[in-house]
Amino acid sequence: MADRQHKAGAPEAAPTDARWIRIHPLTVRITHWINALAILMMVTSGWRIYNASPIWDFEIPSGITLGGWLGGALQWHFAAMWLLAVNGLIYLLYGIFSGHFRRKLWPVTPRAVLHDVFEALRGKLAHQDLSMYNAAQKAAYLGLIVAIIVLVLSGLAIWKPVQLQALTALFGGYDFARIVHFAAMSLVVLIVLVHVVMVALVPKTFPTMITGRARRTT
Amino acid sequence: MSDKPGGRRILTNGLVRLRDLASPKQIERVERRLFLKQGLSLGALAMLTGCDVTDNAAVDKVLSAMSRWNDRVQGGLFSQARLAPEYPESAITKPFPFNAYYGIDEVRVVDGGSFKLELSGLIRDKKPWTLPELYALPQASQITRHICVEGWSAIGQWSGVPFRDFLARIGADTTAKYVGFKCADDYYSSIDMETALHPQTLLALRYGNDILPPKYGFPMKLRVPTKLGFKNPKHIMAMFVTNTYTGGYWEDQGYNWFSGS
């Protein structure tokens, strides 16, 4: 707080004036944090399940996994999946029907994404107006939504290869669905890591996902 | 997480508070801030005590309740009309992996000559069955995928008596909830009646063209291609029909009971 008030050149102002704008709706904030918790539980318990029969020549260090043993990890995974699914559905329905997706994540063109990613790597990407996402953000958030949907669907294909056998066939059969599930998990973890690093680099974005407000820039 | 930063923060806030004592308005604002920050510290403390989530009775209770809920969901999703995919002989995994809660050198060898399958519970004709009697019944064969709870899978070929035919023959009460199994290797398990009556559920007596070898569960194994591998008990010595939940070797340790595929 002190930082903000003593910023060079910034005029002194009481925090109650019209200089605050609402940038994250309440539904988005709540579903964001529930999703963060659900993804954390799903990924760390999933790692433990992976270790019971690794697809590749490596295991995930058990210290960063959840569940203690295969049975415990499965319990966590199949409990947290409901949190992920129900919360995710609420978020998707809200995003589609409130116009939130259209307003904040659309349009996004490959050219704009490449341009903004390049600018970001040069450290020149502006974050002046937190109510607007740049193209790199739009691509990351849309990519995360798609990756989580693929993750959930490939998970269902592994869980129910008989009852949902058409879905399993769509993912190339049981064994290939496991590979898709792992790949989608890796993509989700990668996007989340970049997201967390970006928040650390632009820390003023962090409280906005709790309060929903950001200071209007002049 | 240590309590040092929190303590330092409270100390700093205390100093700020002392400095601003002269202004009552400031005090109010600082106190509100202090209250908020201490509230956050309290939340952090609550999370800290909850860190060891895998060893907490309340958490276990929630996870078990969710597992029972998943039993019901899977029961609702299950359909006797939906068959497990069957494969050509060329797809069979060779060698088919051995799997049990013990190593292959500890495989139990049951004496087939004196063997009798014991029946109990809600069954009209509880006469025990010898192996020649079982081999004489009409047999069916399937090449299906065995999916282990660990994630690996393998395709194998089993033959034996369709389980629903056997249940009809012994006069089992098919309105009962469960069929349970007791095995020569002290393994035990139970399945829902819906699955017991599924057309592909098989009282398997053979693997490939051979009498079921000990490593695959001699004298018989329940082959359930709509459930995970651990729901396919081997070395079955006795079976019973009941309305009382009896769990299973792995189920009692936390594996989901229904475990449908």
pLDDT < 50 positions in chain B: 1-12, 14-27, 32, 35, 42, 46
Candidate from A70, A79, A174 with C-beta closest to B63: A79
Residue A146 pLDDT: 98
Report the C-alpha gap between A172 and A152 in whole angstroms: 16
* A147/chain B closest Cα distance in angstroms: 21
Asked if the model's pLDDT at residue A75 lies above 80, the reply is yes
- The last residue of a domain, from among A55, A73, A99: A99
In a domain, residue A216? The reply is no
How far A79 CA sits from the closest chain B CA (Å)? 6
Does residue A89 sit in the same domain as residue A138?
no
Is the domain spanning B84-253 CATH 3.40.50.1000? The answer is no
Give contacts of A78 with chain B, Cβ < 8 Å: 66-67, 70, 256
Q: Give the residue from A66, A99, A132 where a domain finishes.
A: A99
A90 pLDDT exceeds 50? Answer: yes
- Whether residue A70 and residue B150 make contact (CB cut-off 8 A), yes or no, is yes
Calpha distance B207→A215 (Å, rounded) = 71
Q: How confident is the model at residue A130 (pLDDT cuts 50, 70, 90)?
A: confident
Mutate to test the interface with A, among B60, B63, B145 (most CBs of A within 10 A): B63
Q: How far apart are the first and last CA of chain B?
A: 42
Q: Are B255 and A50 in contact (CB < 8 Å)?
A: no
How many Å apart are CA B91 and CA B94, to the nearest integer?
Answer: 9
| CB proximity list for B195: less than 8 A, separation 6 or greater | B78, B201, B224, B226, B227, B260
| pLDDT (0 to 100) of residue A10 | 39
Domain identity same for A82 and A113: no
User: How many domains, in total, are found in chain A?
Assistant: 2
Asked if residue A139 and residue A71 are part of one domain, the reply reads no
Query: Cα separation of A149 and B174, whole Å?
Result: 40
The pLDDT of residue A60 is above 80: yes
What domain range includes position A68?
22-99
Task: Provide the pLDDT for residue A124.
Answer: 79
Q: Could you tell me if A134 and A198 lie in one domain?
A: yes
Max mean pLDDT range (A130-144, A177-191, B49-63): A177-191
Q: In B, which residues are within 8 Å of A49 by CB distance? A: 151
Q: Is residue A8 part of a domain?
A: no
A74 touches chain B (CB under 8 A): yes
> Is B82 within 8 Å of A49 when comparing Cβ atoms?
no
Query: Which residue, A37, A68, A99, sits at the end of a domain?
Result: A99
Q: Which of B107, B223, B201, B215 is nearest to B157 (CA)?
A: B223
Residue A33 counted as domain residue: yes
Are A126 and A143 members of one domain?
yes
Domain layout of chain B by residue ranges: 4-51, 84-253
pLDDT of A62: 95
Q: Rounded distance, CA A69 to CA A74, Å?
A: 9
A93 Cβ partners below 8 Å, 6+ apart? none
- In chain B, which residue's Cα lies nearest the Cα of A70? B150
Same domain, A79 and A128: no
Q: What is the pLDDT of residue A123?
A: 79
Look up residue A20 and give its two tokens: 């605050």
Of B63, B70, B150, the CB nearest to A53: B150
Residue A2 or A92, more confident: A92
In a domain, A38, yes or no: yes
pLDDT of residue B169: 98
